[in-house]
Copies of this chain bind each other. A is one copy, B any other.
Amino acid sequence: MNEFHIIEHYFKTLNSGSENSVKGEGVQVGIGDDCCLLEISARAQLAVSVDTLVEGVHFLENTPPELLGQRALRVCLSDLAAVAAQAKWFTLALTLPRADKAWLESFSKGLREAATKYSCTLVGGDTTRGPLTISIQVMGESAKGGALLRSGAQVGDSIYVTGSLGDAAAALAILQNELRPELKDDKAYLLERYYQPTVNFIAGRKIRALANSAIDISDGLLADLGHICTQSKVGAQIDTACLPYSDALLRSANEEQRMQWASSGGDDYELCFTVSPENCRAVDEMTLSGTLNATAIGKITEGSGVQCYQQEKLIEPPGEGYKHF
């Protein structure tokens, strides 16, 4: 089995389950030439992001390849959701120690499931020999001027997060035998949150016209909200008592542990976004009616950096977020 067999057998067939044609929407030339050729709508900009996962660093050794395929594409798509872009295409740079058929079968199955769910077509890539490394680049369309950036937060904005926080960090603790949820269903729920994080495309679209800034939480709430602060030249105050938790996490960990995972655990891929006072009502109406799952957790302030309060008392930030080096 050589590179070309791998591409033909496992990856060229990846798109056949999608709703579009085998080739994919907007794909004039897909996998198999020197480049792919893609059509961008005249009203859109191209949004691009790349994420790399290295075995032993970003995922544990012997991670089930199907789940790895699911997770690798989802975490990368999350960056498109965070700027409120629409997913279109992706490329895969896959480095493998050896051409293992069972591994490739399973990995490509997971990748196909995520690609189908989020209507994203594989258009190219490179398979190389070496230590297991997965680098995915996603490409999407963003309406001109309609992207949600990190740099738009304004003093007085309310800070929201979607969904619940800390679940993925709890899952990692389960995988490392540091946490044993009493309920089997809670364990399964938390692991699914880690392996198959929801990509918040729907939430991103709903808040696009209302929010001033947004980011997806990959390194931890404090670190990622910190990026919004740095790039918007503002500070932030959050009330840790407001952090949203899943029922599974509430049942599986105490308050201190939850708060630390929610603040610094990362890997949840929820959106953190800021909304000016005049738009808060519209956001709150969506959350009350159940059309948007989001929670207000604080305010954008003058100054710099993120300050944590617990019921109006300033506290030390619980942890620091993921350090890449």
Minimum C-beta distance from A305 to chain B (A)? 14
> Is A174 part of the contact surface with B, judged by Cβ < 8 Å?
no
Assess whether A294 is interfacial by the CB under 8 Å rule: no
Interchain CB contact under 8 A, A3 and B325: yes
**Total copies of the chain:** 2
Known contacts: A3-B324, A133-B130. The answer to whether A91 contacts B52 by CB under 8 A is no
Could you tell me the distance in whole angstroms from the C-beta of A39 to the nearest C-beta in chain B?
6
A291 interface hit (Cβ, 8 Å): no
Q: A46 to B82: give the CA distance in the assembly, Å.
A: 23
If A2-B324, A324-B2, A325-B3 touch, does A34 touch B82 (CB 8 Å cutoff)? yes
- A133-163: which residues lie under 8 A (CB-CB) from chain B? 133, 135, 137, 139-140, 142, 147, 149-151
Residues of B within 8 A of A95 (CB): 52, 54, 133
- A123 to chain B: closest residue by CB: B48
Interface pair B54/A142, CB less than 8 Å apart = no
Best-buried of A38, A54, A130, A147 by chain B (most CB within 10 Å): A130
Establish whether residues A83 and B34, one from each chain, have CB atoms under 8 Å apart when the complex forms.
yes
- Once the chains bind, are B34 and A324 in contact (CB under 8 Å)? no
Does A93 sit at the interface, judged by CB under 8 A? Answer: yes
- Please, which residues of chain B bring their CB within 8 A of the CB of A113? none
Known: A35-B79, A37-B83, A129-B325. A147 touches B93 (CB 8 A): no
A71 nearest CB across to chain B (Å): 15
Measured between alpha carbons, how far is A324 from B214 in the docked complex, in Å?
41
Chain B residues whose C-beta falls within 8 Å of the C-beta of A46 in the assembled complex: 37-40, 46, 139
A52 touches B147 (CB 8 A): no
Q: Assuming the A-B contacts A3-B325, A133-B133, are A58 and B91 also in contact, with contact meaning beta carbons closer than 8 angstroms in the complex?
A: no
> How many chain A residues touch B (Cβ–Cβ < 8 Å)?
69
- Is A49 touching B34 in the complex (CB atoms < 8 A)? yes
User: Is A64 engaged at the interface, CB distance under 8 Å to the other chain?
Assistant: no
Question: In the assembly, what is the distance between CA of A92 and CA of B52, in Å?
Answer: 10
* A28: interface (CB < 8 Å): yes
**How far apart are the CA atoms of A79 and B125 in the complex, in Å?**
12
**A residues neighboring B (CB under 8 Å):** 1-3, 6, 28-29, 32-40, 42, 45-58, 79-80, 82-83, 85, 89, 91-93, 95-96, 98-99, 123-131, 133, 135, 137, 139-140, 142, 147, 149-151, 214-216, 231, 323-325
5 smallest A-B Cβ distances: which pairs? A54-B130, A3-B324, A34-B82, A35-B47, A34-B79
User: Could you pull out 15 A-B pairs where Cβ atoms are within 8 angstroms?
Assistant: A34-B49, A35-B48, A35-B83, A35-B85, A35-B140, A37-B47, A39-B46, A49-B124, A54-B131, A57-B128, A57-B129, A127-B324, A131-B131, A131-B133, A133-B133
